[in-house]
Amino acid sequence: MDGRLQRVKVGDAFSGWQTVGRGVPQGSVLSPMFFNIFLNDLFYHIKTVKIHAYADDERLYDSDVDPKALDRCIQHEVRIANRWYTENGMIVNQDKHHAMVLGTTDHRFSFPVEESLDLLGMTIDNQLNFDKHVSLVCNKVNNQLKVMIRFRKLISTSALQGVYFASLSILFNGVALLQFQEPRQVRGTKQAGATHCFS
Chain segment 126-176, per-residue pLDDT in tens: 888 888 888 888 888 888 888 888 888 888 888 887 777 777 666 666 544
Cβ count within 10 A of residue 195: 22
Buried b (16+ CB within 10 A) or exposed e, 118-156: bbeeebbbbeeebeebeebbeeeeeebeeebeeeeeeee
Give the pLDDT confidence score for residue 1 in this predicted structure: 63
Q: Tell me the whole-structure pTM to 2 decimals.
A: 0.65
Of 17-21, 37-41, 111-115, 181-185, least confident by mean pLDDT is 181-185
Query: How far is the C-alpha of 130 from the C-alpha of 13, rounded, in Å?
Result: 43
Whole-number Å distance between alpha carbons of 39 and 17 = 28
* pLDDT the model gives residue 91: 84
- Interval 61-78: pLDDT, tens: 898 889 999 999 999 999
Residue 133 confidence (pLDDT): 84
**Is it the case that residue 189 has pLDDT exceeding 60?**
no
Whether 25 shows a pLDDT value over 90: the answer reads no
- Does residue 191 register a pLDDT over 60? no
